[in-house]
Amino acid sequence: MSQTHVLHRSLRQTPPVAVRGQGAWVYDSAGRAYLDGSGGAAVSCLGHNHPDIQAAMHAQIDALAYAHTSFFTTEVAEQLADRLVADAPAGISHAYFVSGGSEAVEAALKMARQYFVEIGQPERRHIVARRQSYHGNTLGALAVGGNAWRRAQFAPLLIEVEHVSPCYAYRDQREGESAEQYGERLALELEQTFERLGPGTVMAFVAEPVVGATAGAVTAVPGYFRRIREVCDRHGVLLIADEVMCGMGRTGTLYAVEQEGVTPDLITIAKGLGGGYQPIGAVMAQQRVVGAMQQGSGFFQHGHTYLGHAVACAASLAVQDVIRRDGLLARVREQGAGLRARLEHALGAHPHVGDIRGRGLFMGVELVRDRASKQTFDPALSLHARIKREAMARGLMVYPMGGTIDGRHGDHVLLAPPFIVTEDELDQLTERLAGAIDAAIEQARA
């Protein structure tokens, strides 16, 4: 290819040119096929070129592509909000449509702040979040995230956010400590953090129900989120569940928190909401929060040009229709169990696989130098980058990342295949992944 004028993610390498997609496969201009084992970054929940989504988008484009939300609403935005609210945890009453995950997180933070201003508690300004989490790359969302590497060089630009421990049982649950005691210890840490920051000064606690990109499909221990909810309630703090990656069916229920038995005050969603057919995200908000703004100033002091974009809403509504019509949440649970079984069979006894974890079609594999001590590979080896290269060479897309433990040490691979993935494709995914891991480790050792 001639010299590129696109500022790519890597300034040293131009990636292959994607020209076509079909189901769980992406094809490049050289005719190579890649099995989409990660849905890009946990986005393509229905795979590529789904005819029903394309038809819905075509119909919307023919009727009206865009109308600014300060002048109009659209039928598709209304229908999508109705659908998402009907299926949401109790009390969630409204959807605020933006164009992606970071925008959703920014909007949620501002909504939390405005809520407290509206109800006469303007001294609530602190945000607490967890280390080893990712909430987006815009400055507010980056500040909230606990990914040390992503934050480091931008630290002078970031608002102050307090970070507490993640719920990461494989690494942090102590010997002799039950899952319940571990969850209790973390809830106590959160409570002490709220107290240290000062009574009545914390506005929100932000957490991913299943940690995605930074730690690799880390689920919380049972009861953790219920305890966290209690602590937030005791201190009048809003709980913001960031489901940008783990939500919209990825873990087998439409909202990941359903499986934790708690109701957040705000939920951010994106990625699987539009399945990659259009850029779209949303904040799902409790009536209590929206009501405070309704009865107070009467508006949410925020906004972007592309809020509630009609084609994005049409695509997203079609994605949600297909998930419901085709019973895909049950399929995620079934195929997820199949993926886990395959990974355990292929990698469960691997000397360099420390943990296989996740929920539904959202799975993580953590690599270690030594299983007994859980010691990690030398970060200088960039094992995760080698795995990605080796996987691509085998025609497989996966989402590996380094810095699993502290932003520097540790490597994992995140898997998030489309909900329509077949048994045969799961076989290929597992086989190619195992080959890529072995080849990468061999190289790293050489």
Ligand X SMILES: Cc1ncc(COP(=O)(O)O)c(C=O)c1O
Looking at beta carbons only, is 129 or 441 nearer to ligand X? 129
Both tokens assigned to 262:
């708690």
Judging by DSSP bridges, how do beta strands 396-397 and 33-36 pair with one another? parallel
CA distance 166 to 177: 16
Query: CB of residue 244 vs ligand X: minimum separation in angstroms?
Result: 3
- Contacting range for ligand X; rule: CB under 6 A; set: 96-104, 157-165, 190-198, 336-344: 96-104
- Kindly state whether residue 166 participates in binding ligand X, applying the rule CB under 6 A: no
Both tokens assigned to 302:
């925020």
Candidate residues 38, 44, 74, 102; the one interacting with ligand X per rule CB under 6 A: 102
- Kindly state whether residue 212 participates in binding ligand X, applying the rule CB under 6 A: yes
User: DSSP assignment of 21-74, as one string?
Assistant: EEBTEEEETT--EEEETTHHHHT-TT-B--HHHHHHHHHHHHH-S---TTT---
List, in sequence order, every residue forming a beta bridge with 402; answer none if it has no partner: 411
CA distance 406 to 121: 35
Both tokens assigned to 68:
């600014």
Looking at beta carbons only, is 81 or 107 nearer to ligand X? 107
Candidate residues 210, 270, 363, 381; the one interacting with ligand X per rule CB under 6 A: 270
- Kindly state whether residue 208 participates in binding ligand X, applying the rule CB under 6 A: yes
Query: CB of residue 104 vs ligand X: minimum separation in angstroms?
Result: 7
- Kindly state whether residue 247 participates in binding ligand X, applying the rule CB under 6 A: no
> What's at 23, amino acid-wise?
G
- Kindly state whether residue 39 participates in binding ligand X, applying the rule CB under 6 A: no
For residue 310, which of 108, 99, 104 has the smallest C-alpha distance?
Answer: 99
Candidate residues 23, 47, 100, 166; the one interacting with ligand X per rule CB under 6 A: 100
Candidate residues 37, 101, 358, 417; the one interacting with ligand X per rule CB under 6 A: 101
- Kindly state whether residue 205 participates in binding ligand X, applying the rule CB under 6 A: no
Candidate residues 88, 105, 142, 343; the one interacting with ligand X per rule CB under 6 A: 105
Q: Site for ligand X (CB under 6 A): how many residues?
A: 15
CA angle 239, 241, 243 (to 5 degrees): 175
Looking at beta carbons only, is 79 or 138 nearer to ligand X? 138
- Kindly state whether residue 146 participates in binding ligand X, applying the rule CB under 6 A: no
**Cβ neighbours, 10 Å, residue 390:** 23
**List of residues contacting ligand X (CB under 6 A):** 41, 100-102, 105, 134-136, 208, 212-213, 242, 244-245, 270
